[in-house]
Structure 1
Amino acid sequence: MAANTSDKLQQLKELLAEVTDLSRAAALLEWDQETYMPPGGVQSRAEQLSTLLRLSHVRFTSDEVGRLIGELEDELGGRPFDSDEASLVRVTRRDYDQARKLPPDLVAEVARAGSVARPVWEKARHDENFGLFAPYMEKNVELNRRIADAIGYEDRPYDALLDRSEPGMTTAQLEAIFAELKKAIVPLIADIARHADAIDDRVLYRGFDPDLQVSYALGVVKRLGYDLERGRQDKSTHPFSTAFGPGDVRITTRVSRDFFNECLFGSIHESGHAMYNQGMGHDIDRTPLWGGASPGVHESQSRLWENLVGRSQPFWRHFYPSLRSVFPEPLQGVDEEGFYRAVNRAYPSLIRVEADEVTYNMHVLLRFELENQLLEGTLKVKDLPEAWNALFKSYLGLNVPNDREGALQDIHWSYVSFGIFPGYTIGNLIGAQLMEKIHTDMPDLDAQIETGQFASLLGWLRKNVHRHGRKFTPNELMERATGQPLTAAPWIAYVQRKFGALYALHAGRY
């Protein structure tokens, strides 16, 4: 007896659930490697990850999955575009066609290379010695080229990698976005530099007890909506968020006694990612629909909470009294207005994750350009630190003192993950565009934040972004949520308005 459509959907879901379980098991091993695994476990962990991800890839790209997708495409042709069934088949088809282009051995090699490279990156970063990491970076560049060649591209090899992470985006489109941002940002940075003394941020470096920072940050993200019954926070070299399903979504942070921003804003940032994952529907769990629409959309959630909420004046009107009660000595003599201004001081800095809202996208542009040059062979890995330092001087006017604060500062290049960095800028733009719409829908949002009420904001994001998972491409999601495709205009207007006020810049210009 031939299977009906319902039976075929169930068969496909069962196969996809197995694939998801294997991928999540690998993600759990990766989380452990970043948090608690002893150094001696590196080689075994690399083989474990390689095996799991190879198995996941082989199962997903099986002929049986392809057959079910093809038959269901024919049978579900009349279903609404946004229905779970039509979306599952559409998104699975996109992922399947792309995955079929990657040989299983390449997938395994990528997993193995990333696992082995991470501890070497950590040591090289600690020792401020790019040369230690260079051979592993060479391997990762080669693997990125092989991935791009396997997927195929018409214009630039970066297009192939970009389409994996940001569906529908091209290198040329990104270059146009960055050109628009540079046109707005460069003069703003210059104007702020001329008023650099307007903000004093020395309070942030006065010495804050690390344990108290971690506990305070955890209390804040819980207030924002991060569900600790379905999550936890640990420490890692580079903060991250990871999810093993809607009931287990974890974050990590790092803490410095002598720089307040690192722990709190890092925790808020990662909790934004985590709340996105916690808000996805259980009905799409263990399918390709569960997960962020793209790294850029995911980043929009983290940066919306970190910057548009966490660095806003209403936020600090609410939280500053409690912060001062926890840290009375370092905050002595500093009022709420002074602290708000301090955490928003804009100035060129060396570290991307600590950069202010104005200069942040220049950090991303630098990485985007270097990845393209490495991929196209116009830049050799051995010359990467020198190229990094030259671009940094050109874009941000700073001399990079060492490799730790230069080409070794991000964990991303220890993975085989070119094409991810642009998502941070895309996330900035999406976050501002979403927040513009949220303010239209909730005119009293600032008043809610000032009184510590975040449920309505989280509820809007749950309804318009989180619950959809990967049903829609980033542009489709933005059209549905805001009524227009991705645009840089709201973000540009936001930073010009906010920092124009903070630095008392010429009102007519901003």
Structure 2
Amino acid sequence: MAVNTKDRLQSLKEILAEVTGLSRAAALLEWDQETYMPPGGVQSRAEQMATLSRLAHVKFTSDEVGRLLDQLEDEVAKLPFDSDEASLVRVTRRDYDEATKLPPDLISEIAHAGSMAQPVWQKARREANFSLFVPYLEKNVELNRRIADAIGYDERPYDALINRSEPGMTTAQLEGIFAELKRAIVPLAADIARHADAVDDRVLYRGFDPDLQLAYALGLVKRLGYDLERGRQDISTHPFSTAFGPGDVRITTRVSRDFFNECLFGSIHESGHAMYNQGMGQNIDRTPLWGGASPGVHESQSRFWENLVGRSLPFWRHFFPSLVATFPEPLRGVDEEAFYRAVNRSYPSLIRVEADEVTYNMHVLLRFELENEMLEGTLKAKDLPEAWNSRFKSYLGLNVPNDREGALQDIHWSYVSFGIFPGYTIGNLIGAQLMEKIRTDMPDLDAQIETGQFASLLGWLRKNVHRHGRKFTPNELLERATGKTLSAAPWIAYVQKKFGALYGLQEARKAAP
């Protein structure tokens, strides 16, 4: 590599490191707001985060960054596609082109609006009063329209937003994926409903000491591979994971005495995100390459550990004895098979983060449709609860009792985050596709899990997913890891096999006249 090229790369990296520092400082303030900040700090925090976001945006979109990219693109063109240098220039160019379309004032306004809306959302959720949140949602819908207009799109405004988070994905493609999933989910869910008595989950509601739950969950995710020397767990209204660098990757959870799944599986879920961040290479730190390939890829890691591993029978054959030792009274008379069946009970749920594997994607479909309609102006923010409740009844057969368990349950719309929800379904599909490949590469995977050995599994993910960060688009990453592009088929086959066995559906079909 020529000396001038090395010098220009170093100059670019120095600027990008400063941008990363500003962004991580803003993320730390956001974590504090979610966990420990007093209510009186809202206005000051909004101003602080808006300032940091504006400074990072101005520095990243400077003419100097554009000039360096112009010079470097030809100079790194002959390097391998996956080299750090070529990847840095390619991904930075993609981010730069998008960011330069968003004026600094809009970036600052987005940060300020999100910081102001979040505590109002918390209050509205506590009081189950959507009307408190309406003005803030109206503002955030307007900001999302302005983002879409600034970025540009060929057909529908949602295309601009989904392509920001899932490069290469379009609204039409998402509609096709959801249609395929709906064709599989609706009959499966109906079959399960007809045999609902086959699975009993009452054990999960027997009352589990919250402090013991938190301690057990933290110990378990440490066993999976979450490094507590580089992480910590706290309590928040809505569980999340955040990272300030490879040495500081944090998770939060929430805990309920009356429902066991919330804390443990929430912790496993967030640790999946965290292990992804902890596995990214030091060589790409403090650059745009450090981070998840997309929200969908990030979600594939969290739901991989939560569902494909954490809700498997081999997993509970290993962990159930220690669980009984921790909670002897609630688990009296329960064996590992019964507990495995309990944590996999399938039934329509009001809350997305508590939904089972079969019906979860219908929650995402609902949000995807409502976001589109608000963005395109066919649904007003004030009418969201009515639309939500009506569609929820149609899709999942449930009456929504209040706004807290309805349109106010997710934090995303308080942070101007349209276009994020489809990533949860994309994550489900990617996770199943990765697991299909892993089982080919590691035929003794179940035996490893049953004996509490997770290092090889985590190592496979480190090698094929984590270390690359944002070097590749989701489809590029998936093709490199599995040899195939995104497909719903592995996920559909997985849920049909697993829940068919849990509910005896094949036997029931054979016995039917």
Fold match, TM over 0.5?
yes
Tell whether 2:121 aligns with 1:113.
Answer: no
Q: What are the residue-to-residue correspondences of 1:265-304 with 2, within 5 Å?
A: 265-304=265-304
Q: CA offsets, 1:169-213, max 9 Å, x none?
A: 000000000000000000000000000011110110010000000
Q: What are the residue-to-residue correspondences of 1:193-204 with 2, within 5 Å?
A: 193-204=193-204
Query: Which amino acid is the alignment partner of residue 296 of structure 1?
Result: G
Alpha-carbon distance in structure 2 between the residues aligned to 1:183 and 1:142: 34
Alpha-carbon distance in structure 2 between the residues aligned to 1:338 and 1:508: 20
Alpha-carbon distance in structure 2 between the residues aligned to 1:155 and 1:509: 45
Which residue is equivalent to 1:57? 57
Q: What are the residue-to-residue correspondences of 1:209-288 with 2, within 5 Å?
A: 209-288=209-288
SS of residue in 1 equivalent to 2:506: coil
Alpha-carbon distance in structure 2 between the residues aligned to 1:76 and 1:224: 39
Alpha-carbon distance in structure 2 between the residues aligned to 1:441 and 1:507: 31
Alpha-carbon distance in structure 2 between the residues aligned to 1:439 and 1:16: 39
Post-superposition offset of 1:506: 2.1
Check 1:69–1:508 CA distance in 2 against 1; reply closer, same or farther (3 A cut): farther
SS of residue in 2 equivalent to 1:506: helix
Post-superposition offset of 1:155: 0.5
Query: Which amino acid is the alignment partner of residue 147 of structure 2?
Result: I
Query: Which amino acid is the alignment partner of residue 272 of structure 2?
Result: G
Alpha-carbon distance in structure 2 between the residues aligned to 1:155 and 1:213: 48
Alpha-carbon distance in structure 1 between the residues aligned to 2:399 and 2:457: 41
Post-superposition offset of 1:509: 7.5
Query: Which amino acid is the alignment partner of residue 106 of structure 1?
Result: L
Which residue is equivalent to 1:460? 460
Q: What are the residue-to-residue correspondences of 1:126-205 with 2, within 5 Å?
A: 126-205=126-205
Alpha-carbon distance in structure 1 between the residues aligned to 2:265 and 2:57: 36
Gaps of 5+ in 1: none
SS of residue in 1 equivalent to 2:252: strand
Query: Which amino acid is the alignment partner of residue 51 of structure 1?
Result: T
Alpha-carbon distance in structure 2 between the residues aligned to 1:147 and 1:509: 51
Alpha-carbon distance in structure 2 between the residues aligned to 1:195 and 1:10: 63
Q: CA offsets, 1:420-463, max 9 Å, x none?
A: 00000000000000000000000000000000000000000000
SS of residue in 1 equivalent to 2:234: strand
Q: CA offsets, 1:263-301, max 9 Å, x none?
A: 000000000000000000000000000000000000000
SS of residue in 2 equivalent to 1:448: helix
SS of residue in 2 equivalent to 1:245: coil
Check 1:495–1:509 CA distance in 2 against 1; reply closer, same or farther (3 A cut): farther
Percent identity of the aligned residues? 86
Alpha-carbon distance in structure 2 between the residues aligned to 1:498 and 1:449: 17
Post-superposition offset of 1:3: 6.7
Number of equivalent positions: 509
SS of residue in 2 equivalent to 1:286: coil
Check 1:91–1:76 CA distance in 2 against 1; reply closer, same or farther (3 A cut): same
Q: What are the residue-to-residue correspondences of 1:332-343 with 2, within 5 Å?
A: 332-343=332-343
Which residue is equivalent to 2:123? 123
Gaps of 5+ in 2: none
Q: Which moved more, 1:182-191 or 1:74-83?
A: 74-83
Alpha-carbon distance in structure 2 between the residues aligned to 1:64 and 1:57: 13
Q: CA offsets, 1:69-113, max 9 Å, x none?
A: 110001111111111100000000000000000000000000000
Alpha-carbon distance in structure 2 between the residues aligned to 1:507 and 1:34: 48
Q: What are the residue-to-residue correspondences of 1:4-83 with 2, within 5 Å?
A: 4-83=4-83
Query: Which amino acid is the alignment partner of residue 380 of structure 2?
Result: K
Alpha-carbon distance in structure 2 between the residues aligned to 1:74 and 1:463: 29
Query: Which amino acid is the alignment partner of residue 308 of structure 1?
Result: L
Check 1:182–1:7 CA distance in 2 against 1; reply closer, same or farther (3 A cut): same
SS of residue in 2 equivalent to 1:255: coil
Alpha-carbon distance in structure 2 between the residues aligned to 1:38 and 1:126: 16
State the TM-score, normalizing by the size of structure 2. 0.98
Which residue is equivalent to 1:470? 470
Which residue is equivalent to 2:486? 486
Check 1:286–1:331 CA distance in 2 against 1; reply closer, same or farther (3 A cut): same
SS of residue in 2 equivalent to 1:238: coil
Query: Which amino acid is the alignment partner of residue 212 of structure 1?
Result: L
Alpha-carbon distance in structure 1 between the residues aligned to 2:253 and 2:382: 31
Alpha-carbon distance in structure 1 between the residues aligned to 2:274 and 2:173: 29
Alpha-carbon distance in structure 2 between the residues aligned to 1:225 and 1:490: 26
